[in-house]
Structure 1
């Protein structure tokens, strides 16, 4: 019997080995974006799975399918062709510099709508959010700036139908209309504005990043508001879209957004501002003048600081800074992965972070999820002498983990392959933290003639560049070489120089941490040795003792004086 090939199942692959993403013969043809590469294929194993329709299978086992939970959205009962702008609305828009022609093209209307914040109906301007001729959502705005969108409807970009190869991003519908008055139709507005400075978890605000219409964009021009929320939105867009594909617009003094420029200076000046958009520095040589704008922002809003870990004792010495990477080392069994899991759960709870995890040693994934759930609920997952989490608490924990964690499960991927997959996840899920645990489970095949030291140097440079470009914090767990026991039979605290392969582990890391416990004393104390911190805004070297809670894997503040500074 002749062995089957991928072509027998309609699957097109370009390579003879490895992993690749391609179109799905089951669903791609019927989708709006027929070129979406939603089918992941492992050529070596001869298996595939579609992340859209759930079709999966293998060359040896044939086709399979699994149910995929698809989120459904309510469609607004709104017909833009029956809603037109009143003369009063036309006059009001004219005071903001918006012409009747632009209003009619974007189907701006007026109606009476209910506003929960007013607990009453009010006359409002309507901004229909269209995909083709279909109304996906509607935003209602009163004269005194009360807003409402359709409950249960999908939050998409305002201006989806106008997306071209060069796309301008703004922060509100009025700004999108203003940009059109200036002569640019390829412009979108984010549906909910910028996240407020105190927003912890704003990942759901960026669900629009999955729009297939964005896949054809070659250049993004970021033209959001010149205020603190706008700065945060700009950084998040740059992080997800890729700084090398973005230009940034700066508004004249005294102007906060595109509509401000239009009203105060006119359409010609607004057009000049957009045409003067500058590339975002990525790498290479730069003049001081290029940093003047960012320096002004730092002066106004302060230097960035690392995020608190959830342990006050640890925060004195180590905080978590986006764009950096931390080496975690320790003797097997001393709790380095367990401590890192606890850190991730606390960052997700306190700051809303989303994590991507490559952790082959914590397989199967259900086992890893049970450990994370224990840290979230502070109760054991399994039955035993201690009260376990209830079914409701288990479901709550899984819902929390589904919102904040995504797992990478390729077998022996290369560093380059991991980086490419992670870039895609950062864009789609807004990942802020990445864990590679452990380093030795990555495929480290290297070119002939390249030494291990040279390979590690190049790999860590690539990972550092990825962290900085995407604004994520990366933790790499790496085992030390075999250490010599002390005279009492215990192992010494490992340092970055003990990690197998190269001194580059110490030299290239932004932060280095060793997790260690005295196995001779059989107690619950675990020492967190912060051995290197590059930036003083992040922390400083020091030693912290935490109490390990065995039934849940959590780490508690140690009673008494819980931290002491490292010796000079």
Structure 2
């Protein structure tokens, strides 16, 4: 039997060579179902130890903590009453950690007796460790704070980081759940597994005593669950997504070449004055008219009155504004009021944050399904310090895409191209020519270009235009093609002509 402890609880006897008393062996085998052989393999001894919470000495099992072959701490578990104490000033570290360094799989328990239960069930001694102080209630209301885990970081630095699989065999209670969540963050979810105990069992020793070693071994070796990771699924776990709701732009000749849809993000570019604002106002008018939708327009260069109003009036009436009757005008205005909203910053200093706030109001209160900002460069930039323009544009486009997806609407950005070099002057821009970032090509679902090759010809004013569908992320939205358009001066609207398909990735046009 180990020697008596001092009143201070430092237990000189606990630091002697471990031996087991007959009473300790009887208790372990009859109450805990742990054999003398298992305790001896783990270096467990026994002795009379002073327990402050009992205000007296008690017979106890004593678990030695060793580092570099030297005892650096010990922990005593009283019996037959339940109480714990440890060496004053002892080093905090995993119990049995020296033996597990180098093991591919390590089982972690909340107490030494549970670790011994795993060994009793057939888990190798070299694969079992226990936290030194059990699971504790969080000392901070902030779950992101991890305190008191320096011993974990020490163990990782000293070789535990090479372990490929950690299996948490903690207690089935609140503190045990908190400990498990902390250990996930410390060890990483990729290598972390956990065990769920049967109903009525709190820990590994409960399972050993209730169901026996074979069941405990099966649970921890074959039924440990991988820690769930949000965002990672097998195909069978993924929900079936509904098909895209497709909106035809209203030009019958386009057939399936171009569609638009909610939950997507598009960009439109073209040289200033080439008609991108007018053409897409017509497209959105035709979609709203056909599907009964509402559009919200944040227009910073083209005024709602008189310019957008004139365009929409003429589209509704099918005639130029000066040829409309009062009845035509009133009918058009009534329809416009029902289907279009405009976002205007009171100080003419709109930002992306303001735009999204206003757009959310239009969706939530007025059921808008189409949100357009025209043009992008009129939104005040809010780049973070040391953030490049490319990174800023990428961040903004991710935000806009998430907005479109979360609020089930289509978000469209009209953006000017950067100044093109002399060799390409007068040619239609690509999406990557948009000022600021190649992300305009990489990160949108659809990309369009409106281009007028010439403004005048031998007959005077030339109204021909080219509409390029440069990019379509989903085949349901169409495919890259060039569509010839003409603006009818007598009706104030575009009409479609023939089209050209892009050949391959190099986007060289060929005649259809």
| TM-score, length basis structure 1 | 0.45
**Aligned pair partner of 1:337 in 263, 277, 290:** 277
Cα distance, 1:432 vs structure 2: 0.5
In 2: Cα distance, 1:380 partner to 1:478 partner: 28
Decide whether aligned partners of structure 1 residues 290 and 424 sit closer, same or farther in structure 2, where only a CA change above 3 A counts.
farther
In 1: Cα distance, 2:304 partner to 2:496 partner: 30
Root mean square deviation of aligned Cα: 2.1
1:404-419 to structure 2, matched below 5 A, reads 404-410=339-345, 411-419=348-356
Cα distance, 1:348 vs structure 2: 0.9
Cα distance, 1:306 vs structure 2: 2.1
Gaps of 5+ in 2: 1-228, 505-512
Decide whether aligned partners of structure 1 residues 284 and 545 sit closer, same or farther in structure 2, where only a CA change above 3 A counts.
farther
Match of residue 131 from structure 1: none
**Aligned pair partner of 2:370 in 399, 408, 433:** 433
SS of the residue 1:529 aligns to: strand
Task: Please give the per-residue CA displacement for 1:24-76, whole angstroms capped at 9, x wherever unaligned.
Answer: xxxxxxxxxxxxxxxxxxxxxxxxxxxxxxxxxxxxxxxxxxxxxxxxxxxxx
In 1: Cα distance, 2:292 partner to 2:278 partner: 20
- Tell whether the 8 Å contact from 2:319 to 2:492 is kept in structure 1 after alignment: no
Match of residue 453 from structure 1: 390
Decide whether aligned partners of structure 1 residues 313 and 484 sit closer, same or farther in structure 2, where only a CA change above 3 A counts.
farther
Match of residue 541 from structure 1: 480
Cα distance, 1:402 vs structure 2: 0.5
1:270-419 to structure 2, matched below 5 A, reads 285=231, 287-288=233-234, 294-295=239-240, 298=242, 303-363=243-303, 365-382=305-322, 388-410=323-345, 411-419=348-356
In 1: Cα distance, 2:422 partner to 2:273 partner: 15
Match of residue 472 from structure 1: 409
Cα distance, 1:555 vs structure 2: 0.9
* Bigger Rg, structure 1 or 2: 2
SS of the residue 1:366 aligns to: helix
- Tell whether the 8 Å contact from 1:338 to 1:553 is kept in structure 2 after alignment: no
Decide whether aligned partners of structure 1 residues 417 and 508 sit closer, same or farther in structure 2, where only a CA change above 3 A counts.
same
- Tell whether the 8 Å contact from 1:494 to 1:514 is kept in structure 2 after alignment: yes
In 1: Cα distance, 2:405 partner to 2:355 partner: 16
Cα distance, 1:420 vs structure 2: 1.7
Decide whether aligned partners of structure 1 residues 500 and 536 sit closer, same or farther in structure 2, where only a CA change above 3 A counts.
same
Give the count of matched residue pairs.
Answer: 270
Decide whether aligned partners of structure 1 residues 373 and 494 sit closer, same or farther in structure 2, where only a CA change above 3 A counts.
same
Cα distance, 1:377 vs structure 2: 1.4
Decide whether aligned partners of structure 1 residues 566 and 357 sit closer, same or farther in structure 2, where only a CA change above 3 A counts.
same
In 2: Cα distance, 1:418 partner to 1:547 partner: 33
Moved over 4 A (4+): 288-292
Cα distance, 1:288 vs structure 2: 4.9
In 2: Cα distance, 1:552 partner to 1:361 partner: 23
Cα distance, 1:291 vs structure 2: 5.9
Cα distance, 1:542 vs structure 2: 0.5
Gaps of 5+ in 1: 1-282, 383-387
Decide whether aligned partners of structure 1 residues 291 and 433 sit closer, same or farther in structure 2, where only a CA change above 3 A counts.
farther
Task: Please give the per-residue CA displacement for 1:129-170, whole angstroms capped at 9, x wherever unaligned.
Answer: xxxxxxxxxxxxxxxxxxxxxxxxxxxxxxxxxxxxxxxxxx
- Tell whether the 8 Å contact from 2:427 to 2:453 is kept in structure 1 after alignment: no
Moved more, 469-478 or 438-447: 438-447
SS of the residue 1:362 aligns to: coil
- Tell whether the 8 Å contact from 1:379 to 1:551 is kept in structure 2 after alignment: yes
Task: Please give the per-residue CA displacement for 1:476-506, whole angstroms capped at 9, x wherever unaligned.
Answer: 000001123559xx60110111110000000
Match of residue 443 from structure 1: 380
Task: Please give the per-residue CA displacement for 1:349-369, whole angstroms capped at 9, x wherever unaligned.
Answer: 111110010001112533321
In 1: Cα distance, 2:400 partner to 2:468 partner: 23
- Tell whether the 8 Å contact from 1:484 to 1:491 is kept in structure 2 after alignment: no
Decide whether aligned partners of structure 1 residues 289 and 566 sit closer, same or farther in structure 2, where only a CA change above 3 A counts.
closer
In 1: Cα distance, 2:256 partner to 2:319 partner: 28
In 2: Cα distance, 1:306 partner to 1:406 partner: 22
SS of the residue 2:432 aligns to: helix
Structure 1 position 532 matched with structure 2 position 471: yes
In 2: Cα distance, 1:486 partner to 1:548 partner: 28
In 1: Cα distance, 2:407 partner to 2:236 partner: 20
Match of residue 513 from structure 1: 448
- Tell whether the 8 Å contact from 1:373 to 1:394 is kept in structure 2 after alignment: yes
Match of residue 69 from structure 1: none
Cα distance, 1:424 vs structure 2: 1.8
Cα distance, 1:376 vs structure 2: 1.6
In 2: Cα distance, 1:421 partner to 1:338 partner: 23
- Tell whether the 8 Å contact from 1:315 to 1:539 is kept in structure 2 after alignment: no
In 1: Cα distance, 2:339 partner to 2:436 partner: 33
Decide whether aligned partners of structure 1 residues 284 and 420 sit closer, same or farther in structure 2, where only a CA change above 3 A counts.
farther
- Tell whether the 8 Å contact from 1:313 to 1:544 is kept in structure 2 after alignment: no
SS of the residue 1:537 aligns to: helix
Match of residue 566 from structure 1: 502
SS of the residue 1:458 aligns to: helix
| TM-score, length basis structure 2 | 0.50
